[in-house]
Structure 1
């Protein structure tokens, strides 16, 4: 059973992580989020839920402005083949999320650790990172170091790679 927003916040509390969350109308794209958010400090994310032909799943999280080459990213992230977008049913099953609400915070639901998490190194230059808290009707601001602490608490050690402008060479 997927965690709720309140359970996510309780998990943060148990780790000593302080976050700030603002509510807003549902957003489904980066452009919609940019239009609604005003002037939230920090980095804002773009998230891709991907799979390869061997059904290995990847959650790639970058800065919202990053350019991601889906034809070559597989070489960068160690996928067995070119990747495609994971189906909404698998997104719900593995991360407890629906399209439009994809976020690294969904890894709290991946208790079997079936999803590999990839963070773009440029995003981690930000001290504050803004993500969806299991819903696309809110944005949560979390410190970079606290995000890493959260990911590790879920059993996920993120791959930190240069994704923007991916070039496998």
Structure 2
């Protein structure tokens, strides 16, 4: 099935199926639609996990795409990201590019979108400060739920997804 035609429930289930098939442990909970950090914050549980902000960019030529993941309490200007990532001029990727490379729609961007990138085209940048947290929270490609996953299990997920990634100091 074409990933662009999947319903939100189907996109979520693909994440769970991917994790379950690889024995990757996680917890999850449902909540009302939360397309922004500001909205999502009211539904977050006090579970010790770090909620992450995820931004999807393209380079100036449009031939490289980057997912940037960092602490949701921080903010980043594109100019600062360009300087830190050293990938040249960046801009937010279009909704069409997001659907093509991550199988996602705006408001549900997460590293779990990498399961929809079999060519491993998208490079993931993770803020190095995330290493200090024991677990992370992300949407499971559906902004009506949150997955809580330990740092160790998340790194197992990244290895299984196969995309390149690196921890980098973003602020």
TM-score (norm 2): 0.89
Whole-angstrom CA distance in 1 between matches of 2:45 and 2:20: 27
Whole-angstrom CA distance in 1 between matches of 2:131 and 2:90: 24
The gaps in structure 2 that reach 5 residues or longer are 4-9
Deviation at residue 85 of structure 1 after TM alignment: 0.5
Q: Among 58, 68, 92, which residue is 1:60 paired with? A: 68
**Kept after mapping to 2: 8 A contact 1:72/1:82:** no
CA distance 1:113–1:78, change in 2 (3 Å): farther
Write 1 or 2 for the structure with the bigger share of helix.
2
Whole-angstrom CA distance in 2 between matches of 1:137 and 1:12: 18
Whole-angstrom CA distance in 1 between matches of 2:164 and 2:127: 14
Deviation at residue 152 of structure 1 after TM alignment: 1.4
**Kept after mapping to 1: 8 A contact 2:11/2:142:** no
Match of 1:11 in 2: 18
User: What stretches of structure 1 move > 4 A for 4+ residues in a row?
Assistant: none
Deviation at residue 45 of structure 1 after TM alignment: 0.5
- Pairing 1:135-150 to 2, within 5 Å after superposition: 135-150=142-157
Counterpart secondary structure, 1:151: helix
Whole-angstrom CA distance in 2 between matches of 1:96 and 1:40: 28
Deviation at residue 34 of structure 1 after TM alignment: 0.8
- Pairing 1:69-84 to 2, within 5 Å after superposition: 69-79=77-87, 81-84=88-91
Deviation at residue 95 of structure 1 after TM alignment: 0.4
Counterpart secondary structure, 1:50: strand
**Kept after mapping to 2: 8 A contact 1:52/1:84:** yes
Whole-angstrom CA distance in 2 between matches of 1:120 and 1:139: 20
Deviation at residue 72 of structure 1 after TM alignment: 2.8
Q: Among 4, 11, 28, which residue is 1:21 paired with? A: 28
The gaps in structure 1 that reach 5 residues or longer are none
